[in-house]
A and B are shown apart, each in its own frame.
Chain A
Amino acid sequence: MLKIVGMVLVLISSTLIGYMKSLKYTLRRQELRSFLSNLNLLITEITYSQITLSEAFNKLSETSEPGVGRFFLLVSQILNSNEGYTASEAWEIALDKVGNINLSQDDIKILKSFGKGLGNSDIYSQEKNFKLASELLKKQLLDAEESSKKNERLYKSLGILIGVAVVIIFL
């Protein structure tokens, strides 16, 4: 009896580990997509409404999905703290501090270099900076989609299979 319970437990936990591994790929894809659409909104706020960045970030944090929203909220909080931070500094600090984010190192590098040009020039240059980042992020998104297609199923089935293997060994 005890044996059966143990086997079931092993099976469930290894399956879950596999699922969580694969979930990381899904989340990265979602976050990248969310960043892309939010940057799109951001550049509209910059070129069309011409509101300040702290207001724009605040707006974005309200409308975007929780993970990315938390990041934008953090940037706007750092900017509003009046501790002498510029928008690009606040952007970088927030990227380092936000945690619980599933982006790859490369994704973050792109976002950081986008942040460097944030707010410190006229509309024309802002748009150029945005276009570059958006192109690069789109590439990352393609990459994320591809690897999630490959790896998501891989990790899911790997989880189950390892569980089954362990169970068989213990039998």
Chain B
Amino acid sequence: MINKSKNYDDLLYSLPLNIRNIIIKLNDYLKEGLEEIRLRIDKPLMVYVNNQERFLSADGNIVNSPNLAYIVTNEDCEKALQLISKSSIYAFENELKNGYITLKGGYRVGICGKCILDGESVKTIVNVSGFNYRIMRQCIGSSDEIMKYIVKYPDIVYNTLIISPPQCGKTTLIRDIARNISNGIPELNFQGEKVSIVDERSEIAACFKGIPQNDVGYRTDVLDLCPKHIGILMMIRSMSPKVIITDEIGKSEDIASIHEALNAGVSIITTVHGNDVEDVMRKKHIDDMLDNREFDRYVILSRKLGAGTIDVILDRDFNAIFKGPYRKECRSIC
């Protein structure tokens, strides 16, 4: 189910010419499995492809020894920063502070270098020496199988907590859930409801200039780069959502604003780091929500069959209503 129509143009335009020419020469198999391109000053050019880290030579071949690889120059890195920011670094100061810039097409570039501090917070990053171009692939349909546990005819959306260790595809899953709720699910006679996404790190919708680059459904509003606790309240007031979707909750103010949402009759779907319910129970702030049975469903992910494996789904009293492991085939999950 990988989105084949995705071409790499917007990504290539943001790569310095030398490296762009190398990536263009990659064969189709590598291109399809491409997950990350890594640039580090004076270090070999590396790609993360089909779950393996590889060196790339100047003629676009995978090489085993770093000595044969193309060595990224200082000039490449300077160029890269300019191209990523469309030669307008001033316009991306906020993004630079966070350490990444989202490109058109939903690609994202992580950046590191020397931080300039302004009191406690990072003012900007200079002498940028490392880039991580990430190719995000949307896995459309990854939640189809489990939607029947999350929504119910005619218009009920259960409060759902997705519990997952890092890199197991929770953002991918929550994105697809957003799409399904928003567009409606004919098989379940579910009409589709207004969805608001509070996307603090622009990971769910991957907005470029405020426009979602991922398909998150046509009844979906996205508040990009907004802190969760502020964003949830803003969305309740302004967009009258039926469901609010947000990623990685944990702070006490997040929980407080989720309570606001629940009081306002809005359903919430969110994620948290952890291996299982017991793990989450040990987390401050969230444990109360579990004790008070505020969530109706728990979706627990693992890597048993690869990233994006759904292990088990629990109801509000922690009884299993779906037993996995189940995984929708998807070539790459970010």
Contacts and interface: CB of A to CB of B under 8 A. Distances in A.
Q: Do A and B come from one complex?
A: yes
Contacts of B85: 52, 119
Interface stretch (B45-53, B60-68, B86-94, B222-230): B86-94
Interface stretch (A82-90, A96-104, A135-143): A82-90
B158 to A, nearest CB: 41
A122 B79 contact: no
Interface in B64-115: 79, 81-83, 85-91, 93
Given A53-B88, A84-B17, A120 B124 contact: no
Nearest to A121: B89
Contact of B87 (A120, A122, A123): A120
A50 B95 CA distance: 13
Contacts of A84: 16-17, 20, 79, 83
A88 B86 CA distance: 11
A15 B173 CA distance: 79
Interface string B210-235: 00000000000000000000000000
Going nearest first, the 4 A-B pairs with the smallest beta carbon separation are A87-B87, A84-B17, A119-B87, A52-B88
B13, B81, B83, B86: most-surrounded residue (chain A CB, <10 A): B86
A46 interface: yes
Contact of A122 (B17, B86, B93): B93
B20 A88 contact: no
Contacts, number: 57
B16 A122 contact: no
Contact of A52 (B81, B87, B124): B87
B79 A53 contact: no
A126 interface: yes
A167 interface: no
Contacts of A132: none
Given A84-B83, A86-B79, A86-B83, A119 B16 contact: no
14 contacts: A46-B90, A46-B91, A53-B88, A79-B86, A82-B9, A86-B79, A86-B87, A88-B87, A119-B89, A119-B90, A120-B87, A121-B90, A122-B93, A126-B90
Contacts of A51: 88, 91
A99 B13 CA distance: 28
Contacts of A47: 90
A118 B87 contact: yes
Contact of B90 (A54, A88, A123): A123
A85 B213 CA distance: 25
A79 B87 contact: yes
A87 B85 CA distance: 10
B318 to A, nearest CB: 49
Interface string A31-74: 00000000000000011001111100000000000000000000
A47 B86 CA distance: 16
A53 B86 contact: yes
A119 B83 contact: no
Given A50-B90, A87-B88, A119 B82 contact: yes
A102 to B, nearest CB: 27
A46 B89 CA distance: 10
Contacts of B93: 122-123
A120 B89 contact: yes
B83, B87, B89, B91: most-surrounded residue (chain A CB, <10 A): B87
A53 B16 contact: no
Contacts of A46: 88, 90-91
Contacts of A83: 17
A50 B88 CA distance: 8
A46 B83 CA distance: 17
A123 B89 CA distance: 8
Contacts of A118: 87
B190 to A, nearest CB: 41
Contacts of A52: 85-88, 91
Contacts of B81: 120
A119 B90 CA distance: 7
A109 to B, nearest CB: 21
A64 B151 CA distance: 57
A86 B85 CA distance: 10
